[in-house]
Structure 1
Amino acid sequence: MRDPDIRVLCEFYGVTDADAVNGLLDLARLDRERRKAKGWWQQMPMVGGFGEYIAMEEVSTRIRTWQPALVPGLLQTPEYIRALGVTSNWSHPDEIEALVTSRVKRQARLRGEQPMELHAVLWEAALRHQVGSAQVMRAQLDHLMEMARLPHVHVQVLPFLAGRHHGAKGSFSILSFAEPGALDVSYAEAIGSTLWAEGADANAAYATVFEQVSRLSLAPRDSVNLIDAIRKGV
């Protein structure tokens, strides 16, 4: 929907609050950008219909992600990805390789002259949950430590000893954008469905949970030490 149309509708329905109007304009602009975004993901079969998320990820400047069970996709090795595919519903080799290719291409956002900022918080269970062979898992933990040394990649581990936390309901990611005043977008996966949160209140709820698990987590240096200790025990 065009901005003039939104302003007319706001006037018609008596919406005069500037913040509310600007919020609607931001949502509409974000939706237009999402619809016209074109990239490599449109040229290949996308496992699980993940194209919409990738389109948003491609134009984001910062991602905060909470992962209680698995290493985040942007930090996974190809072997780890293949092992996930084998143990999931992607039984056909072509589907698994499509998953590997798309995920590796996404990881290019963490390289280059203007890399995206990534703040990943993982529950300790994600590190101890063996995906594939012991060799695959050791290589994955090595890669995680290597990526954590990059200045724009911040990895924290929420240890079991931290106790109760509000992130137990599932994983999610919060995407931020460069445009002044642009609203964050939160994305969560459920069984058989996905959830997009684009309103200010909904995103604030996800941001609050992320800040809580981040505060409870180990500092980045201590997180790397824990990852290394777990790697040595695999």
Structure 2
Amino acid sequence: MAGRDPNRGKTITTVLGRRLGGELLRMRELRSLLQTHAAEALTASTAKVAKMERGQVPLRDPDVRALCHLYGETDETVIEKLLALAKADRDRRKVQGWWHQYPQLKAQMEYVALEDIATELRTWQLAFVPGLLQTPDYTRALAMGNGVWEDPGAIESFVEARMARQARLTGERPLSLWAMLHEGVLRQLVGGRDVMRVQLEHLLDAAQLPNVHLQVVPFSAGAHPGMTSAFTVVSFTEPGALDLVQADTFSTQVWLESETDAAHHNALFDRIARVGLAQNDSLTFIDNFRKEM
């Protein structure tokens, strides 16, 4: 059952809104125009234009086209990209997602909401199995190990929420997932040998889905460009069109919202993939390690 969106009726900033607003702000400044010029073109107030550029309000397609016309943007490919971004942001804002009934997901609300409308995820993980591919016991062991919650009920609620996310891999519009895992992910005994054996079996099963691509980067790959940090590239139309990059820190999630950041991390992901094992070899690698368990 979908929970009530606590942000409904409020002026909120979304990651997608900031990305769109930032693009429009950049275009306006390139033309040396003021917010008053944009306001006149939209028959709106400068305060509303400011909110648009900060990502605080959704943009209608006519407004996006009017601003592109004002800023001298005639490339239909660029305009269509901005329109797609505006639609994705509107979809994100109007969804009253199931995740709002899980307070344990507070730090991940924005990510889960975007995952719900995304078309593709490309994730590189150094320390743990991505949430979309975790078993309940693995998730439970992670939650207990993190020490964030002492209440068993809160832990079970978190596990339930993470399992609910996995519905995105099946159904009418399954999410495309390309997951690259460092060998250390497989060797970290989260929950012990029995939990890890079942988790490895689950990875092998998940990789049979046509929309899941799984690779392992073994220790034998040596030095490679992915050693610095883990990250996830989230796509909403065709890959590369309007991607966002998410990375975790100890205390929060970091969003990299510029086109430059997205292009850099997509290129980085491709470079890591080249040093990883091919999918068939990765599955053999996982299966052999599972047998050792």
Q: What TM-score comes out, normalization by structure 2 length?
A: 0.72
Does 171-180 or 144-153 show the bigger shift?
Answer: 171-180
State the 1:189 CA deviation: 1.1
State the 1:83 CA deviation: 0.3
* 1:89-108 deviation digits (Å, cap 9, x = unpaired): 22221221121111101111
> In 1, distance between residues paired with 2:93 and 2:175?
21
State the 1:20 CA deviation: 6.2
SS of structure 2 residue aligned to 1:87: helix
* 1:32-79 deviation digits (Å, cap 9, x = unpaired): 332222221122223342111111111112111111111111000000
State the 1:226 CA deviation: 0.8
SS of structure 2 residue aligned to 1:187: strand
Residue 176 (structure 2) pairs with residue 117 (structure 1):
yes
CA contact (8 A) 2:107 2:252 kept: no
Residue 85 (structure 2) pairs with residue 30 (structure 1):
no
RMSD: 2.4
- State the AA in 2 paired with 1:47: L
Q: Which has the larger radius of gyration?
A: 2
Residue 140 (structure 2) pairs with residue 82 (structure 1):
yes
Distance 1:183 1:137, change over 3 A: same
The corresponding residue for 1:211 is 270
Distance 1:90 1:17, change over 3 A: farther
State the 1:25 CA deviation: 4.8
State the 1:182 CA deviation: 5.0
> In 2, distance between residues paired with 1:210 and 1:87?
29
CA contact (8 A) 1:27 1:198 kept: no
> In 2, distance between residues paired with 1:22 and 1:173?
24
CA contact (8 A) 1:154 1:220 kept: yes
2:163 equivalent among 104, 118, 130: 104
Q: What TM-score comes out, normalization by structure 1 length?
A: 0.88
- State the AA in 1 paired with 2:119: T
Identity %: 45
Distance 1:152 1:6, change over 3 A: closer
CA contact (8 A) 1:68 1:125 kept: yes
- After TM superposition, the structure 1 = structure 2 runs for residues 59-208 of structure 1, keeping only pairs within 5 Å, are 59-88=117-146, 89-178=148-237, 182-208=241-267
* 1:154-190 deviation digits (Å, cap 9, x = unpaired): 1100011111112122221112224799512221111
CA contact (8 A) 2:88 2:236 kept: no
> In 1, distance between residues paired with 2:82 and 2:178?
28
What is the number of residues matched between the two proteins?
233
> In 2, distance between residues paired with 1:117 and 1:55?
16
Structure 1 unaligned spans of 5+ = none
> In 1, distance between residues paired with 2:238 and 2:224?
32
Distance 1:22 1:115, change over 3 A: closer
* 1:94-141 deviation digits (Å, cap 9, x = unpaired): 221121111101111112243221110000000001101210011101
Structure 2 unaligned spans of 5+ = 1-57
The corresponding residue for 1:49 is 107
